[in-house]
Structure 1
Amino acid sequence: MIRYAVMPRPLALVLAFVFALPFVLSCGGGSARPHVLFIIVDTLRWDMLSCYGSRAVRTPNLDRLAMRGVRFENAFTQAPFTLPSITTMMTGLYPYKHQVRNNQTNLADGFTTFAEIMKGAGYATGAVLGSAVLESDRNLAQGFDYYEDEYPGSLAVFDPQLRARGITTVGDRGQRRANDVTDLALEWIDTQKGADAPFFLLAHYFDPHSQYDPPPPWNSRYAGRPYEGEVAFTDAEIGRLLAGLELRGIEKNTLVVFVSDHGEAMNEHGEAEHGFFVYDATIRVPLIVSQPGRVPEGEVVTTFVRTIDILPTVCDLVDVPFDGRDEIDGRSFAAAGLLHDAHAPYDPEPIYSEAFLGYFAYGWAPTRAIRTPEWKLVGAPKPELYNMNTDPGELTNLYEREPGVAGDLEAILRAHLRAEAETEPVEVETGDIGEAQRERLEALGYLTSDRKTPDTNSWDDLVDPKDAMAAFQKRQEAKVMVGRSRPFIQQGRYEEGRRIIQAALDHSPDLPIAYQYIATSYMLEKRWDDAAEVFERLIDLGWAVDANRGELAVALINGRRLGEAAEQIRLGLAENPGDSRLATLADAIRTARETGKAVNIAYTTDLMNQ
């Protein structure tokens, strides 16, 4: 059951008076250091909050947080993609240093994380995650006592078009809604009652990420504007989390840091979502720091800061020293005095950001930005230069007209490329993903290859994402259509699901995920020959060849085509001799031939989470 209501304020104050004192005395009461609540909202544009000037969305809770703290007008992420961005915040290192540049790479064990630093200083550490992108396999769990990354088996559907067709739930998307994040965060805070140590809690909200499907009443308040509805819903749940601090009487002893990992393009520059470009729509983020008595109230800092700076800044604010501080790339803006004087002298480094989704997913060139208060250079095969004072929409490329400015910024970019080239490669692993995880990442637009990062001198030989985006967006629209078929297949309404998928294929032929869904639907219907034909098509497309060769063998065995199945198994074992599933299928064929009895292989799949 989804809970939305925030307790009325008078009742909240009464309960706070009754219950707060024992909680305050027992929750880190013996420590002079404050608790730390680190709130990260996924895919939230800076200009979607009313405290940042939005008139489209009302965000009263984050507005209130800003009034009680310091709001940073110009904060920038180092990567417009979830795992690289949050890994940067959790290590204080540039992506090319920690080498997590897509959503499937695990952080190497040798890196020290924010949580490890806080734990080493005596903090109890907890995390509640909104998305499987941050699951513990990615290795960001190191240093956390509690890391909640188990996701519900299904999500309620609020899309009126789907509900009108009888679809009220959808299988596991590897995410949880904001109300569940808030519930789990408050439950964990309550477990710290009686503890001597302060706590460090990471609360990650994923709702503004596509697919946008806000619950009521936000879906009706923002009818036709689902992204904005998701932002408003998330604001309400963050408000409930902050109210929970007040109810427990610990808000004055809790440092709250609120930030987004990246923005959302919303079709600016032809990009629907994020990950390909480094325009401000996706790299500029909201950032608020608040704690009564420790941080000034109602201040606005216009000086440029970076999300990479959050780790050392928080450590300074709560007086946590750590080894290796000189080795990280982040700089404390607390040490510079910005949290107490919005006009304190602070010479910010030019912002560096990089976007590698196009490279890892499609082999396109990555894009990189060098951003100063006045100028932005976009490093790509076709470089771009924008005057951000006169052209904040980044529409007029001045690269050819301003060679001096371009040259200065290119020198800064070359310094980063040299630093990247000098960085010793670490043993990073691309996480093994099963069928369900593959589908979940595909649905989120996060499935990339295990392509290795090439030499930094070879970028100009790759396709500029600007030249490929139109065709890509058409393909993405088709993927969204395929996703709409999923609940129908889950409910056994196979023909309806396949009609939706066929419409997607009419829009974008040779879309592998569409054929994967069709093949799965045939397998669930036990239409073995039809399924085999589609699995053959997937293998021809080069899509998940090992897994689909095994699926093809199952379809052929169940369809009594043992000779063809044996040939597929032979081919699969030649490519991957250690494939235990294929070896098991080979034994089944051998048994069938020796006994003369038909063999039926039970078909199970995580793809539709039946």
Structure 2
Amino acid sequence: MKKTNRMKAYSLISRSPFFRMGLLLPLLLGCSEQRKAGPPVFSGKNVLLISIDTCRADYLEPYGGKKIKTPHINALAQDGFLFTDAVTPVPLTLPAHTTLLTGLHPIQHNVRDNFSGVLGDSVVTLPELFREAGYATAGVIGSILISHRTGLGQGFDVYKDEFTREEFRALQPSVERKGESALALTRDWLDSYLQTENKKPFFLFVHFYDPHKLYQPPAPFDEQYAHDLYGGEIAYVDFCIGKLVDGLKENGLYDDLLLVLIGDHGEGLGDHEEVTHGLFLYEEAVHVPFLVKLPNCENSFSPFPIHQTVSLEDVTPTLIELCGLGFTKTNGVSLAPWLLRQESETDRWICLETQYPLTYNWSPMYSLRSSQWKYIHTPRPELYNLLEDPKEKKNLAGLSAAQRTYMNGILENQLVELARTAVNDHDPQYSIDRAEILTSLGYMAAGNMKGRIGPDRTLPDAKDKISVYIKNDVALGYMMKGMYSQAIDMFLEVVENDPTNPTPYFNLGLTYMQMADYDNALSLMEKAVLLAPESIHIHLHIAKVLLQKGEYGKCRSVLESIIAEQPMLADAHFQLGWLEMMEKRFENALVHFQEARRWMPDMPNLEESIAKARQGES
């Protein structure tokens, strides 16, 4: 049992003095404190949570999408309640899923990007609550980005996050498995569950990653959607979901199932010049699909669309109330009143963020969004009336100063309260001082981020660097295809255009690593780490170069520092194991290889390395 106060699911925001003074209105956070929850209506029912990665809501037919066919999601929408105005608080895979499985805002759980965040053990997760309530819990994931090494495996009896060697070697930005592989693993678990005597109810989490770049749908979706391969990936996931639902129906599990389908974030597709996601907070990246199918029962309403503004933060408190789970702190709202009692819609502000621009030493972005208004806080602020301008083409920041000032005040209050209510083991110790909190979050207009480009320089707006971003992305494509000369030339152009950006130096270093030119690789990565000294990712690659160069003392120092900060980083243990092998310390090598296996048992060449260490011992 964790040393956690298992309080009733409630909004941390509602305890704020700002809320009591009315400065956070029209927030509807904290409903579970203000409304007495009824008895759990679906306690003991099976629960299926499906996450579709990188899925724009407007690509699905229930949301008006006309580019592709999604018949199986259509059928789920007809059986369930469709939330038409659902948003993610962060357009990145790992932080969004951490929010999904905790009900906390990224500032509170402190998993802010895809590479450096680890969810602390003290944070209570949704699967932990289900397991404590007597459920069998299982997860099948589509990407290594949300493996158990990130802390998201907490509470799962079974967590299918091991990948094949072929999946590791595939030419993809991150290790992933295709939808049908995830479907097969899910079916295998369900088959074993059905054969179990004295069955418990189950909580099953299934994650489909296919719509994430690179877009490579299998046949026949590759030909059917050759003009829109991203859409083809979503159509393929729809096909997989259909097969999953068919299996549930065949085994008599569908009718009485509580099913939630949700997207973690969307995809830019060039709507505001960003092709993928993470850099901006426009609707194409933050508006996500979200539907809930309730178990069949006499008292349930016929499904209908719900227009209330909702967030990924709401999934955990909703399932807590519906299923009668234990108590934990969340920043979300239980949606049971809208699902069970046809609650009327009310205004609500949702706080959004992206830290991804900091990867490039650009300003982070924060946003405040309701069903009508969106304010984006950047060095060049943006304000949109979403009812009149849903595509966010007309920036009203210079025309509606009063609305902008009003929303900026609410956003500041929310950010301060989120920082003060952070709960992760690995949280920074935020000052209680309001100005210091806002400065540490990179919010203050004249502020700067620690370890960034200099005390007298503010970080640039990502909007002003989009051409640099696109050029860097093209150069990465050249590098991945082995076109090293073209990649180097383009990365050098990025350096010239944005000299305080660490990424082109790092990517140049990666290019020279692939060319086995370790002197140039080390020189460029050292330039990158001067601009981003907190980047574990860059430090790890510096260690790899030092190992190749035979500079074992320096390599050991870097790796031991990394492990001290992130002991779950399997790659660091693996590299240190090979360093010990080089120095014929086979017993020490075996210890580090086994630590790597603990956190990443599917790591390529790991078992062979363990065998060699044991052979060296003997």
TM-score range, shorter chain: 0.7 to 0.9
> How far is 1:274 from its partner?
1.0
Counterparts of 1:278 and 1:577, CA distance in 2: 37
> How far is 1:292 from its partner?
4.9
Equivalence for 1:467: 464
1:230-257 deviation digits (Å, cap 9, x = unpaired): 0110100011011110011110111110
1:516 maps to 2:510: yes
> How far is 1:462 from its partner?
2.3
Counterparts of 1:283 and 1:572, CA distance in 2: 41
Counterparts of 1:337 and 1:574, CA distance in 2: 55
> How far is 1:112 from its partner?
0.6
> How far is 1:459 from its partner?
4.8
Counterparts of 1:86 and 1:199, CA distance in 2: 20
Equivalence for 2:236: 233
Equivalence for 2:322: 317
Cα distance change, pair 188–502 in 1 and its aligned pair in 2 (3 A): same
Residue type of the partner of 2:346?
D
Cα distance change, pair 219–511 in 1 and its aligned pair in 2 (3 A): farther
Equivalence for 1:504: 487
Equivalence for 2:366: 368
> How far is 1:218 from its partner?
0.4
Residue type of the partner of 2:308?
T
1:140-172 deviation digits (Å, cap 9, x = unpaired): 111110101001211499xxxxxxxxxxx6489
Name the Cα RMSD after superposition: 3.1
Counterparts of 1:453 and 1:201, CA distance in 2: 38
Counterparts of 1:171 and 1:406, CA distance in 2: 41
Cα distance change, pair 388–574 in 1 and its aligned pair in 2 (3 A): closer
Residue type of the partner of 1:116?
E
Give SS of 2:260's match.
strand
Counterparts of 1:172 and 1:211, CA distance in 2: 7
Match of 1:109 among 121, 145, 151: 121
> How far is 1:429 from its partner?
8.6
Query: Are the aligned partners of 1:106 and 1:139 in contact in 2 as well (CA < 8 Å)?
Result: yes
1:250-307 deviation digits (Å, cap 9, x = unpaired): 1011111000001111112221111121111111101111135245444111121111
Give SS of 1:406's match.
helix
> How far is 1:381 from its partner?
1.8
1:480 maps to 2:477: yes
Residue type of the partner of 1:472?
Y
Match of 2:309 among 297, 301, 304: 304
1:370-426 deviation digits (Å, cap 9, x = unpaired): 112221111112211111111111111111211221122112101112213423574
Cα distance change, pair 353–171 in 1 and its aligned pair in 2 (3 A): closer
Counterparts of 1:221 and 1:404, CA distance in 2: 49
Equivalence for 1:191: 192
Counterparts of 1:580 and 1:184, CA distance in 2: 32
Counterparts of 1:425 and 1:309, CA distance in 2: 17
Cα distance change, pair 51–97 in 1 and its aligned pair in 2 (3 A): same
Cα distance change, pair 424–374 in 1 and its aligned pair in 2 (3 A): closer
Equivalence for 1:164: none
1:55-105 deviation digits (Å, cap 9, x = unpaired): 111000000110111111111111111111111111111111111111231
Query: Are the aligned partners of 1:312 and 1:331 in contact in 2 as well (CA < 8 Å)?
Result: yes
Equivalence for 2:500: none
Counterparts of 1:573 and 1:200, CA distance in 2: 43
Match of 1:401 among 382, 399, 402: 399
1:422 maps to 2:442: no
Query: Are the aligned partners of 2:350 and 2:368 in contact in 1 as well (CA < 8 Å)?
Result: yes
1:331-390 deviation digits (Å, cap 9, x = unpaired): 1121x234553xx3243421211111112x123221111112221111112211111111
Equivalence for 2:64: 53
Cα distance change, pair 459–289 in 1 and its aligned pair in 2 (3 A): farther
- When normalised by structure 2's length, the TM-score is 0.73
Counterparts of 2:140 and 2:447, CA distance in 1: 38
> How far is 1:606 from its partner?
6.4
Query: Are the aligned partners of 1:182 and 1:237 in contact in 2 as well (CA < 8 Å)?
Result: yes
Which shows bigger deviation, 190-199 or 387-396? 190-199
Which has the higher Rg, Structure 1 or Structure 2? Answer: 1
1:94 maps to 2:105: yes
Equivalence for 1:133: 145
Match of 1:34 among 45, 68, 74: 45
Equivalence for 1:350: 349
Counterparts of 1:86 and 1:577, CA distance in 2: 29
Equivalence for 2:379: 381
Equivalence for 1:332: 334
Match of 2:130 among 92, 95, 118: 118
Which shows bigger deviation, 95-104 or 245-254? 95-104
Query: Are the aligned partners of 1:516 and 1:535 in contact in 2 as well (CA < 8 Å)?
Result: no
Match of 1:203 among 203, 206, 215: 206
Aligned residues: 493
Q: Percent identity?
A: 29
Residue type of the partner of 2:326?
F
Counterparts of 2:320 and 2:331, CA distance in 1: 14
Cα distance change, pair 391–171 in 1 and its aligned pair in 2 (3 A): closer
Cα distance change, pair 388–576 in 1 and its aligned pair in 2 (3 A): closer
Counterparts of 1:275 and 1:570, CA distance in 2: 37
Query: Are the aligned partners of 1:154 and 1:170 in contact in 2 as well (CA < 8 Å)?
Result: no
> How far is 1:516 from its partner?
2.5
Counterparts of 2:464 and 2:101, CA distance in 1: 34
Match of 1:224 among 221, 227, 232: 227
Query: Are the aligned partners of 2:43 and 2:322 in contact in 1 as well (CA < 8 Å)?
Result: no
